[in-house]
Amino acid sequence: MALLDVCGISDWVKEDTFSSQKASVDRVNHFNFAALEPELAVPIGVDPAEFLKPFTDCEDGVEGVTIKLKHGTTTLAFKFQHGVMVAVDSRASAGSYVDTQLFKKVIEINPYLLGTMSGSAADCVYWERLLAKECRIYKLRNKERISVSAASKLLANMVANYRGMGLSMGTMICGWDKKGPGLYYVDDNGLRLSGNMFSTGSGNSYAYGVMDSGYRYDLTVPEAYDLAQRAIFHATHRDAYSGGTVNMYHMQETGWIKVSQEDVGELYHRFAAEKK
Amino acid sequence: HDSCSFILKVGIRGKDIVVLGVEKKSVAKLQEERTVRKICALDEHVCMAFAGLTADARIVINRARVECQSHRLTVEDPVTVEYITRYIATLKQRYTQSNGRRPFGISALIVGFDYDGTPRLYQTDPSGTYHAWKANAIGRSAKTVREFLEKNYTDEAIASDNDAIKLAIKALLEVVQSGGKNIELAVIRRNQPLKSKEIETLVAEIEKEKEEEAEKKKQKKSS
């Protein structure tokens, strides 16, 4: 209110008292793309990273009292002449305990946008669902679908507010928009990279090895499916924290299609048979 | 009582060009003409002319400019003309619905090109509504000029860039005293930043055309 401003009270009155009415009237929330308004309340005077240290799995941690965040994955995506290939495993592990072999690590934001998840499952699921909500709102407000670069930028901005607070998220945003196929890597530090090939998670080095040795831009569609599947399979074979099934998506001009969902055990036997 | 509401502004949306024409008000002898800016760029591809209180316009234009850059930063794309118009309209509306404040006393004509190359022209008013137009006028005698535009805005009339510019000048000349000195023009072409336009030659052309038309009519009457 103008009177409050004149009296100089708004300087020290906190936002969560009655003057929050001023805040919601003045703040143009529907133009900030979820960047300015923090979604999670952080207690004042507490550094979340320091607070969590004794309870998480690190050197300063207290013996026997650790929260083992769900970690461990292999995901990959690469661009080629017929669009973007996305392949992920489906194991969710907590330390050495396998929570489930059927975890969905690809979130289908809209028929032209996909997001992959690696790192802490809780963080990924939460932030990517929030991203999906922002994408839907963007489409309603602007009457056209959000671009891949804008969607990845929104996610990067959202998590950059919580930098250093212990988020763990490595994701790839893939889609097809007016500018053509798009592939961006976004992680919990707010890093955002555009590129032709990414692999994230604990098994990413194995996936990179297989992908790099077989990748060409002019792959045919069946060759690309085979390459993506093999890369994930070999990562699940050697990485303890990856496994379950290989979920594969193909992002085309007309939207994404789910190519296959195959158990790695069956893939093992198929590839072994090929060798003979 | 600001003089800006007495100035006529015309906006025309062509096929590959958008034109903003403004009546140049005569300034006092000792006043620097450069400081009276009526057409303002909000971004490289969008500009705005306003009628009303200049001081209010300054605030709105500043906020709009910041929002254009903020959008580029957050979304990595330039604003669409509709987006920035919606932002300005929302800003105006908020001031009609909060205590201790009065509404912004300006109407604005916002022109520009979207990222995909479509030309746009929007008008906002102090209540916070906005509408898209093919051609419009605000300010002094806007009604007369709008009627002229309704009669003369056809697809042939805006077929080429020069035709669109001429239409804007003709519309202004309906009300403004003749002469290039009294008209200020700004054009935006697709993928090109805002430019001020050379008036003199075009005004001379229009005068010539008018004379030729009058001649033809005379000949018809006599025959």
B222 at interface of A, judged by CB pairs closer than 8 A:
no
Q: How many CB atoms lie within 10 A of CB B54?
A: 17
User: Tokens for A220?
Assistant: 């045919």
Tens of pLDDT, residues B153-177: 998 888 888 889 889 988 988 888 7
Mutate to test the interface with B, among A7, A25, A31 (most CBs of B within 10 A): A31
Q: Is A96 exposed, middle or buried (0-12, 13-18, 19+ CB in 10 A)?
A: exposed
For position B31, what pLDDT does the model report?
A: 82
Q: Are B4 and B50 in contact (CB under 8 A)?
A: yes
Tens of pLDDT, residues A133-160: 999 999 999 989 999 999 999 999 989 8
B90 at interface of A, judged by CB pairs closer than 8 A:
yes
For position A22, what pLDDT does the model report?
A: 42
For position A166, what pLDDT does the model report?
A: 76
Contacts of B76 in chain A (CB under 8 A): 147, 149-150, 153
Mutate to test the interface with B, among A28, A139, A178 (most CBs of B within 10 A): A28
Contact A1 B74 (CB under 8 A): no
For position A36, what pLDDT does the model report?
A: 58
For position A161, what pLDDT does the model report?
A: 83
For position A94, what pLDDT does the model report?
A: 78
Instruction: Tell me how many degrees the CA angle A48-A54-A55 measures, rounded to the nearest 5.
Output: 85
Helix orientation angle between A221-238 and A264-275, rounded to the nearest 10 degrees: 110
Residue among B76, B91, B94 whose CB faces A153 most closely: B76
Percent of the residues in chain A that have a pLDDT greater than 90, as a whole number: 56
Contact B75 A150 (CB under 8 A): yes
Contacts of A7 in chain B (CB under 8 A): none
Percent helix, strand and coil across chain B, each to the nearest 5? 40, 25, 35
Distance from CA of A153 to the nearest CA of B (A): 6
For position A194, what pLDDT does the model report?
A: 96
Contacts of A31 in chain B (CB under 8 A): 67, 71, 87, 90
Contact A28 B100 (CB under 8 A): no
Contacts of B71 in chain A (CB under 8 A): 31
Which residue type, as a one-letter code, is found at position A103? Answer: F
A73 carries an active-site annotation: yes
- Taking 70 as the pLDDT cut, the residues of chain B under it are 1-5, 34-37, 178-180, 197-200
Contact B116 A178 (CB under 8 A): yes
Mutate to test the interface with A, among B69, B77, B83 (most CBs of A within 10 A): B77
B118 at interface of A, judged by CB pairs closer than 8 A:
no
Tens of pLDDT, residues A8-65: 665 555 444 444 444 444 454 567 676 655 556 667 777 777 777 777 655 555 666 6
Contacts 24+ apart (CB under 8 A), B189-196: B189/B16, B189/B17, B189/B161, B190/B16, B190/B17, B190/B113, B190/B117, B190/B119, B191/B45, B191/B113, B191/B117, B193/B41, B193/B44, B193/B45, B194/B39, B194/B41, B194/B44, B194/B47
Contact B99 A1 (CB under 8 A): yes
Contact A28 B116 (CB under 8 A): no
Report the chain B residue with the minimal C-alpha distance to residue A2. B100
Contact A35 B94 (CB under 8 A): no
Instruction: Flag whether pLDDT at A69 surpasses 70.
Output: no
For residue A251, give every residue at least 6 positions away whose Cβ sits within 8 Å of its Cβ, in sequence order, or none. Answer: A83, A84, A85, A86, A112, A114, A174, A175, A176, A181
The interface predicted TM-score of the complex, written ipTM, equals 0.76
C-alpha to C-alpha distance for A44 and A21, rounded to whole angstroms: 21
Instruction: Flag whether pLDDT at A88 surpasses 70.
Output: yes
For position B22, what pLDDT does the model report?
A: 86
Tens of pLDDT, residues A229-275: 999 999 999 999 899 999 999 999 999 999 999 999 999 999 999 98
Biggest CA-to-CA distance, chain A: 85
**Which is higher by pLDDT, A165 or A6?**
A165
Contact A28 B87 (CB under 8 A): yes
Instruction: Flag whether pLDDT at A6 surpasses 60.
Output: yes
Contact A33 B94 (CB under 8 A): no
Catalytic residue among A17, A66, A73, A116: A73
Contact B80 A142 (CB under 8 A): yes
Chain B from 30 to 89: CB within 8 A of any A CB: 67, 71, 74-77, 80, 82-83, 87
Report the chain A residue with the minimal C-alpha distance to residue B94. A25
Question: What's the mean pLDDT when you consider all of chain A?
Answer: 84
